[in-house]
Chain A
């Protein structure tokens, strides 16, 4: 069974400081990995994904994520956080199933709070 873990319920960071949101996964095969952001009263919005190749992927709004196969991790990073980055962040994996491409498995989410 596949699973995604986001070990931190909340991450607090001062504006201008680097931001890291952690994600580890457990899934067989070579999954696709995703990060999403959710603002209040909105659906989840896609930020970036890892398919293959370079372990560092860049996405929207200055975010990037580093894939580490040996540690089965896919941590989200931003070099300099903004107050507007305050939101709920979700890590997700998708792996092929026996029938076809399978479901997206989401982590529990990490609330990011950026203070001025």
Chain B
């Protein structure tokens, strides 16, 4: 079991650039979550999918953020254009339904200068 795989591990970009974060969930997991973690705001849920369908995107900060899950083994989180306040660690996590725990990737540390 390779676990949840996120790429890149680190991303440094300039304000205004497009950023794409990638996630491969654990095979067979049908729920996928994107979280953002900062010192000020803690762990925030951005969006989650069940069976590739977005269920709740109320945590997406604004229209600059978008997420897709074209198939069961891949998801992206895109920020366009990026801003310095988007600097954070972004986590992807996946799970099975019900009592199955959530499994986290090691995150992408995004720095926007």
Contact = CB atoms under 8 A, between A and B. Distances in A.
Interface stretch (A11-19, A44-52, A76-84): A44-52
A46 to B, nearest CB: 4
Contacts, number: 61
B43 A32 contact: no
Main SS class of interface, A: strand
Chain B interface, >50% SS class? strand
Interface string B27-54: 0000101000000001101001010000
A70 B3 CA distance: 36
Interface string A75-116: 000000000000000101010010111111110110000000
A51 B99 contact: yes
A108 B42 CA distance: 6
Interface stretch (B66-74, B75-83, B102-110): B102-110
Nearest to B95: A104
A43 B97 contact: no
Interface of B: 4, 31, 33, 42-43, 45, 48, 50, 55-56, 91, 93, 95, 97-99, 101-107
